[in-house]
Amino acid sequence: MTQASHGEPVQRFKMHRRTITETDVVSFLNAAGLHEPFFIDMDCIQTNMTEPHRSRFAPGPMIISLGMGLLATYVAGIIERTLEGHAVGPFGGMTGLQARL
């Protein structure tokens, strides 16, 4: 384990990679109902955006969702390592889940 600039231990881990394609972006836009011109109308994008951004881009909620999906397989291990040596119950002290529909 390495140390952060403020002296706290830093945990590093490797996760798999994911290339986001235009098909992924379009599928997410359709599923989420994000039909704003800046996401779906290529003419609007190329006319109104500056040079480096004249192609389709992924909306923030899609990036967050993909990041959560990439990280999901490591969350339990991260929680275990983070709480190691602390007196907590299973899953960081969470003892149950209640939901109402």
Question: pLDDT tens across 18-60, in order?
Answer: 788 889 999 999 999 998 888 888 888 888 887 777 777 889 9
Q: Which residue has the tokens 């389709």?
A: 56
Q: Round to whole Å and give the CA distance between 44 and 48.
A: 6
Residue 52 lies in a domain: yes
Residue 98 lies in a domain: no
Residue 101 lies in a domain: no
Domain count, the chain: 1
For 3, the enclosing helix (H) or strand (E) is: strand 2-3
- Coil/strand/helix, residue 10: strand
Residue 99 lies in a domain: no
Residue 70 lies in a domain: yes
Residue 87 lies in a domain: yes
Residue 98 is predicted with a pLDDT of 59
Residue 80 lies in a domain: yes
Range of the domain at 81: 2-93
Residue 100 lies in a domain: no
Q: What is the dihedral of CA 66, 68, 74, 80, to 10 degrees?
A: 170
